[in-house]
Amino acid sequence: MQSNQQVDRVLTGDRTTGKLHLGHYVGSLKNRIDMQYQYDTFILLADVQALTTHFEAPKEMGRHLRQITLDYLAAGINPEKVTIFVQSLVPEIAELTLFYSMFVTVNALRHNPTVKSEAADRGYDQLYYGFLGYPVSQAADITFCKATLVPVGDDQLPHIEQTRKIVRRFNELYAPVLLEPKAVVGEVPRLIGLDGRSKMSKSLGNAITLDASAQDVREKIRIAVTDTNRIHKSDPGNPEVCPVFTYHQAFASEGAEEIAAGCRSGTLGCVECKERVGKRINNLLEPMRETRRMYESAPHKVDEILIAGTERARNIGKETMREVREAMGLNYNFDNDGIRG
């Protein structure tokens, strides 16, 4: 930690493109729940960054961000401990993004792996300005609140490195007011989708959302792809190629070995195997359903949590911007303080 903050501040978040699913739970949410009592955790509801791909549907953002907040609360995020805030309601992030964009070259952004892969799919002539600038806006997300730790998977490391470069450049150019964040690199387990082809994703229709009913879970698991070479129950199966087995590993690791052995020996049928994993998943989701019902019956509570979190984030952002403007010499000291609210 490089500041007067008593504990490290963590920044993490989600683009507000839809409900969360089991892949999100395993990949990041579970880790956030574990970290919330250890760090000053900020969770960003990235509605602006959602627009980089969903700019034709801005009206959906309000619904998505409330749904995601419900998912957080249901899963065990404690709003007394964690600051959940809305990106577009903290204009200081946009302001910082703009200032950083003056000294980040287009070439540096073109080398970003996410930008590169998008450009490979669509071509640079179809790449949007906002998408190209995504790493700059991420740098603003991290630095406006002086986050010192950012949990990421390996594939996100270049984004954090870009932020660190921006911080160093800013501090050299003006004054050392920004903090260089550290990436907390953990293995980010990626849950395979029910189709067994790609990672779990709501847009691909291969996901179990965190708000799924017990019946939904059973139905979805029932039609999940298994080892396609296994025709009869007595055929030896190969759990290594079966998506259902990865769910056993993710949600019932202590029983996974027994499942694998039963599958390999042809003594455990897919129907029973799926019933077992469906039960495990429902055991995980049942307490979430209860908490969700409680918040759904008092929706104003969700809004109050978002308002309180966003106010806290804004206050910190205003203080950072005061320091940034002073460092840059953009604090013009006009008599009329009302110009900047």
133 binds ligand SF4 (CB under 6 A): no
| 330: CB partners within 8 A, 6+ apart | 324
Q: What is the DSSP letter of 191?
A: P
Q: What gap in Å lies between CA 61 and CA 50, rounded to an integer?
A: 8
What residues from 272 to 331 belong to the interface with ligand SF4 (CB under 6 A)? 273-274
Q: x/- site string to ligand SF4, residues 90 to 129, per CB under 6 A?
A: ----------------------------------------
Q: What gap in Å lies between CA 325 and CA 175, rounded to an integer?
A: 10
- How many residues line the site for ligand SF4 (CB under 6 A)? 13
Q: What gap in Å lies between CA 15 and CA 89, rounded to an integer?
A: 14
191 binds ligand SF4 (CB under 6 A): no
Q: What gap in Å lies between CA 4 and CA 234, rounded to an integer?
A: 64
Q: What gap in Å lies between CA 262 and CA 256, rounded to an integer?
A: 10
Give me the least distance between CB of 187 and ligand SF4, in Å please. Answer: 22
Phi/psi class of residue 41: alpha, beta or left (left: φ > 0; alpha: ψ in -120 to 50)?
Answer: beta
Q: What gap in Å lies between CA 224 and CA 207, rounded to an integer?
A: 10
Give me the least distance between CB of 196 and ligand SF4, in Å please. Answer: 10
**Residue recorded with tokens 């034709």:** 56
Task: List the structure tokens of 21.
Answer: 């699913």
Q: Looking at 85, 245, 251, 295, which residue binds ligand SF4 (CB under 6 A)?
A: 245
Q: Looking at 23, 27, 158, 237, which residue binds ligand SF4 (CB under 6 A)?
A: 237
225 binds ligand SF4 (CB under 6 A): no
Give me the least distance between CB of 256 and ligand SF4, in Å please. Answer: 9
Q: Looking at 239, 278, 309, 317, which residue binds ligand SF4 (CB under 6 A)?
A: 239
268 binds ligand SF4 (CB under 6 A): yes
Q: Which stretch binds ligand SF4 (CB under 6 A): 95-103, 150-158, 208-216, 224-232?
A: 224-232
Q: How far is CA 37 from CA 123, 258, 287, in A?
A: 44, 34, 20
- Evaluate whether 142 touches 122 at the Cβ level (below 8 Å): no
Q: Which stretch binds ligand SF4 (CB under 6 A): 35-43, 123-131, 242-250, 327-335?
A: 242-250
Q: x/- site string to ligand SF4, residues 56 to 95, per CB under 6 A?
A: ----------------------------------------
227 binds ligand SF4 (CB under 6 A): yes
Treating both helix axes as pointing N-terminal to C-terminal, what angle do 134-144 and 157-173 enclose, rounded to 10 degrees?
70
Interface residues toward ligand SF4, by CB under 6 A: 226-227, 230, 237, 239, 242, 244-245, 263, 268, 270, 273-274
